[in-house]
Structure 1
Amino acid sequence: MTGGARFTVDVRVKGDTLVLALGGELDHDSAGALRDALTEGLSTAATRIVVDCKDLTFCDSTGLNVLLRGRLAAQDAGVGLELAALRPPVARMFDITGADAVFRLYGSLDEALIGRPQE
């Protein structure tokens, strides 16, 4: 687990999927922990990365940019980067910015692991 007191990234492997479970507030001060986890994740044998946002309570523009850049880096590496369980305040940020259109979104981590996207 990495991050500060206000933000955590728990990294675990589920088959060929790397799960990054985020907790707390993703902002300018904490985005480095996510950036590092994404970079390390791309150096593994995972064919996809699922970012579990169930415990993510806040995401500012810096956090959003880390996720967007991570998605592009993953795409370049032939790895899918997908999001699961966006809470309403975080989902609103993605909706307002249109970022929800570039990520595959899942209602829960379980749905992501079986590949059932949110409608």
Structure 2
Amino acid sequence: MDRAMPDSSHRRQLTVDVRHMGSGAVVTPAGELDHHSAERLRESLHGCVAGGRYRIVIDCSGLEFCDSTGLNVLLATRIEAEAAGGQVHLSGMRPIVARVLEITGAGAVFSVHETLAEALAALPAD
């Protein structure tokens, strides 16, 4: 049986919003995080850490999908931030994205919060 590949025009482009807050940042990716779009998020997150914003909350409420490439971006950012003395917190996980963390066990290495407000409250003050 020959299966057609899904039409990529139906994929939602990944956008990344970054809000700086002292030595921290809230990074909000929205859309599909996969091997086609992961570099956009990687650049934004690396820019935060390189710019001295190593306490990062990633608001995942707008993520519609995350594959292993996207997960690797999150894990690499956690390592980079922790090496600088910082932290990465995740918030607002949709079930499809939370499932990826659950299946891989990656959820055990992140601080995961139901809401953005809870994640922000968990960060140490500047």
Q: Please name the residue that 1:57 is paired with.
A: 64
Alpha-carbon offset, residue 44 of structure 1: 2.4
Q: Does 1:77 align with 2:84?
A: yes
Where structure 2 has 5 or more consecutive residues not aligned to the other structure, the ranges are 1-11
Q: Which structure's CA Rg is the greater one?
A: 2
Q: Name the TM-score, length of structure 2 as normaliser.
A: 0.83
Q: Please name the residue that 1:21 is paired with.
A: 28
Alpha-carbon offset, residue 43 of structure 1: 1.9
State percent identity of aligned pairs: 49
- Residues 54 and 81, structure 2, Cα contact 8 Å, conserved in 1: no
Alpha-carbon offset, residue 47 of structure 1: 4.4
Q: Does 1:46 align with 2:26?
A: no
Q: Please name the residue that 2:9 is paired with.
A: none
State the aligned residue count. 112
In 2, the alpha carbon distance for the partners of 1:36 and 1:87 equals 23
Q: Would you identify which runs of 4 or more consecutive aligned residues in structure 1 move more than 6 Å?
A: none
In 2, the alpha carbon distance for the partners of 1:114 and 1:14 equals 13
Alpha-carbon offset, residue 16 of structure 1: 3.5
CA RMSD of aligned residues (A): 1.4
Q: In the alignment, which of 19, 39, 43 is matched to residue 12 of structure 1?
A: 19
Q: Name the TM-score, length of structure 1 as normaliser.
A: 0.88
